[in-house]
Structure 1
Amino acid sequence: MAKQNGSHDDGNEDMMHAPNGTDYGTVDRTPSTYTSLSTYQLPKGEHRHYQQQYADMYFARLAQIKPAVESIASDAWADFHIGGEKATRKERVLDVRQGELCFVIGTVYMEMPLKPNVLEDIGKEHWIAAPPPRVKYDLGAGQGDSEHGAHAGGGKGLPGTQVMLEDESGRLRLTGSYLQGGLLVTGAIVAVIGTENSDGDFEVLDLRVPDLPRQPPRWETEDGVAALQGKGASKKRNKAGKVAIVSGLGFSGDEGDTLSLDMLMEYLLGESADPESQEVASNISRLIIAGNSLSHGAPIPSREEMAAVAKKVGRKTYGYDSSSYNAAPTDRLDQWIATLLPSLPITLLPGEQDPTSTSLPQQPVHAAMFPHSRAYMSQPTTNESAGWFDSTTNPAEFNVDGWRCLATGGQPVDDVYKYLPDCEERLEMMEAMLRWRLTAPTAPDTLWCYPFQDGDQFVLKECPHVYIVGNQPKFETVVIEGPLGQQVRLIAAPKFKETGELVLLDCETLVPELVKFEVFDEG
């Protein structure tokens, strides 16, 4: 590391001279206040069941969100008239009558040509070739129109693509040019106003969503009543620092694949760059790792990976092949985290490629995977909400310096992307998900999830101040506002392995900045 102070007469004396007695000051890391919330924790042991029907989850979601949608729709359409006829409220979708102006609330269901269908998959032979990866669930823009087909990404209707509204009574097919201007996916709860046409389809004239829920004041969790009464913090707090956000670290077993990761570690520890950069690093109060810390740690390998292993080691009827197991990625991640932990607290979210449950909400990566780092975790026998090292769920909710944060590893947004043929803007999808009050709207239709019975845990009960989505194509950020003055900072964090980018979020202003690490190839 370069010297910060001191002067020497010539280059020869730089290397060998007596200590000059200069007192080099120490730099202390800015502390942070952190509270982990157990919003997405699943029941333990025998209390976790998978016998439930997924239909109950849709009905529970509709029951939870319906009052909010009904309130917004009733206010918006209280004076809605067409030709002297006033719109009436229908309790069920099957109560809609032809030619009658009305509005109704239900769950959106998208019928799309390339969307996976588990019943069709079960009916097919197991030996057929796997279909190519589906980037989108439609057939591609510009391939024609259909009489009733209308997709939610804007543009023309597509063959076989239909939008329907359903509740416990049945389904109603939606049509109309209004659907082409907004974002809709399976699982969203909406209110639509219009009339049924002669074909039995509902012509949509307008649409309303639940919008952002209540946003708690800063420090509400920590200060309770004082925060709710607007009295501010119950005690004097120091100025907050910055939170580092990274995703897609992609640890692998390959040699020479850790140079950029080593640079990131040295930057976070303040062991590299000039004194000014070290001062910036000292203001980093916590590191958030938002999914895909490993390159190939998923519990269920892809069909291509299974075929490659079978070709290499021969057919196996049961068990696993110990010769193909590689512990190096997990060990290197553990060593990397353990090096940071004495100086920097860490929150770790699992991702699609990490060794934990595949279905959402993914449960924390087990402490057994971190023999060097688990000493910094909270012990199961204590009442601590989170340790210095918080291995949490995906999605996850937590408070950092009083701000409520919602973070995911990226799978819900990636799946929503497949429903929208003409939309590439990830921030628009993130905003839509918040306004739908759903962290994973397409679960369980096209996104694996736990079959919730009593209530859908993916329903947002309180609006976050910061919404972080990892493993996105590029870094993007924006601030959105709600009807009651809510403000949410959206952050799309890129994959570090591909971009070398780290996001720093100022916990006083909620303004992010980007730090990029580059490795130059001399060849």
Structure 2
Amino acid sequence: MAHHRPDASFDALPALSDALRIPPSERSFGRQYAQMYDFRLAVLRKRAKEAAMERHASATHVDRLLDIPPRQVCVVTGTFFSALRRKPDVLQDIARDLSLPPPPPRTSYVDAEHDELFFEDQSGRVRLVGEAIRPGSELASKCVTGVVASIVGIETPDGDLEVRHVYFPGLPPPDTAPTTVTGGRIVLASGLRAGEADPKNDLARELLVEWLTGELDASSRDETRRISSLVLAGDSIQRAAWEHVVDPQHQEPNPFAYMDPLLAQLCESLHAVVVMPGAQDPCSAALPQQPLLRTLLPRSSVHDTLHLCTNPTWFSLHGRRILATSGQNVHDLLKYLPDEAQTTDAALCMAASTLEWSHIAPTAPDTLWCYPFKATDALVIRAAPDLYIIGNQDAYATKLVHNVRLILVPSFARTHEVVVLDTETLEPHVMSFHT
């Protein structure tokens, strides 16, 4: 049926996506992460400084934190560091008595009575104070570890920096090169979790496949004919299921034996099937996660419509530039908020903030695992996307941020929902497969 559908015009955007692919021969975790922070600050400093000086032209810009003048409003550029009492400590985990059970994972790193916020550059570090960044404020929620910004402030008698205003780098300027946008629809899904022992999820997945291939019912075929492609934004396989495949003591069915023919069926029907790894999938946990191995998916891998991508990743469909993640970046950012504040609206705001910060996952490597890049940081946002996808969220949500369509894609295993996007208008709607 693929020839009856609009052409997806898939483009891997190698100029953006290649930096996220790490050849096996080059993978080394022996490097320090300081180079990443230095590069991040160097590449984002100029835009953050310009944003601040544009609004505070009379303020003095100080190149180094150690040179902040006393009793004078100034502009400084650096990187936030959140000293959070409940933040995980890798060294403490290593030193822990192995005879004791590991502590339960924290859902929030926040302890408002003891937490402190610092600002640092290559010259040093200064503690931040002030009403503008009081705990619980909207601005404070954006000042998380690893974010580059320019601060307008004044030194206090105690040597701290009182924050008046904060300015972030913002997205890079939009691409002025002409592009041709073609009509069609993209289905965005995440969290299929094949191998999960849940009959309702199994049935919902089967309904999804039948709908995508036009086999569900005649009334849905007009809509499905407009669908050119499918994006699976992580967690396609349930972790417990694939971990047991290599354990002879367990007799659970192989989840790849289910997922591979499912993907092959979709690849025969659609012009593009984009598969990203996620936290549950069989690949390394560190960002950027590398593509799933084709040897795990032998039947679907023979189709040139299957595109195994990294997480995060860049690609283009119908002429629309797309940035996608499987959700770990936003999940970790939410832990910088109290438990009661971790709502879908907060997740949407955090995702929007990553665009404002021009960085996909600023908390990596501090509280989110990532690869120690040499003299670069591949998670810096180097171009303005048309569409920004965040997978494996608790619920669907969307907003326009500086002409970027931002979409929280719900976990299918939790919600039995996918998102359908019109590529011409960038208008999304939800399709439900509740059983």
Are the aligned partners of 2:196 and 2:241 in contact in 1 as well (CA < 8 Å)? no
Secondary structure of the corresponding residue to residue 322 of structure 1:
coil
CA RMSD of aligned residues (A): 2.1
Are the aligned partners of 2:20 and 2:312 in contact in 1 as well (CA < 8 Å)? no
Deviation sequence 1:193-241 (CA, Å, 0-9, x none) = 1111122211001110001212225xx5xxxxxx2xxxx64xxx8x511
Deviation sequence 1:283-315 (CA, Å, 0-9, x none) = 00000000000111698x7xxxxxxx9xxxxxx
**Structure 1 position 90 matched with structure 2 position 16:** no
Distance 1:67 1:351 in 2: 33
Secondary structure of the corresponding residue to residue 12 of structure 2:
strand
Are the aligned partners of 2:22 and 2:290 in contact in 1 as well (CA < 8 Å)? no
Are the aligned partners of 2:78 and 2:119 in contact in 1 as well (CA < 8 Å)? yes
Deviating beyond 6 angstroms after TM superposition, the runs of 4 or more aligned structure 1 residues are none
CA change 1:270–1:130 in 2 (3 A) is same
Larger Rg: 1
CA change 1:327–1:211 in 2 (3 A) is same
Structure 2 residue aligned with 1:46 = 25
Distance 1:364 1:91 in 2: 41
Structure 2 residue aligned with 1:409 = 326
Shift of 1:272: 1.2
Shift of 1:254: 3.4
Q: TM-score, normalization: structure 1?
A: 0.77
Instruction: Identify the match of residue 157 of structure 2 among 198, 203, 206.
Output: 198
**Structure 1 position 114 matched with structure 2 position 57:** no
Structure 2 residue aligned with 1:265 = 209
Shift of 1:255: 7.5
Structure 2 residue aligned with 1:388 = 305
Are the aligned partners of 2:191 and 2:235 in contact in 1 as well (CA < 8 Å)? yes
Are the aligned partners of 2:388 and 2:405 in contact in 1 as well (CA < 8 Å)? yes
Instruction: Identify the match of residue 246 of structure 1 among 172, 183, 189.
Output: 189
Instruction: Identify the match of residue 174 of structure 1 among 128, 133, 138.
Output: 128
Secondary structure of the corresponding residue to residue 323 of structure 1:
coil
Report the structure, 1 or 2, having the larger helix content: 2
Are the aligned partners of 2:40 and 2:377 in contact in 1 as well (CA < 8 Å)? yes
Instruction: Identify the match of residue 68 of structure 1 among 39, 47, 66.
Output: 47
Which sits farther off after the overlay, 320-329 or 43-52?
A: 320-329
**Structure 1 position 160 matched with structure 2 position 103:** no
Unaligned segments of structure 2, at least 5 residues: none
Shift of 1:48: 2.2
Equivalent residues in 2 for 1:113-132, closer than 5 Å:
113-132=85-104
Secondary structure of the corresponding residue to residue 35 of structure 1:
coil
Shift of 1:26: 11
Distance 2:70 2:251 in 1: 62
Instruction: Identify the match of residue 423 of structure 2 among 476, 494, 507.
Output: 507
Q: TM-score, normalization: structure 2?
A: 0.92
Structure 1 residue aligned with 2:256 = 330
Instruction: Identify the match of residue 374 of structure 1 among 289, 301, 311.
Output: 301
Distance 2:428 2:117 in 1: 37
Equivalent residues in 2 for 1:377-456, closer than 5 Å:
387-421=304-338, 422=341, 424=343, 425-456=346-377
Deviation sequence 1:297-350 (CA, Å, 0-9, x none) = 698x7xxxxxxx9xxxxxxxxxx7432375521221111111111111200011
Instruction: Identify the match of residue 488 of structure 1 among 374, 393, 404.
Output: 404
Shift of 1:56: 1.4
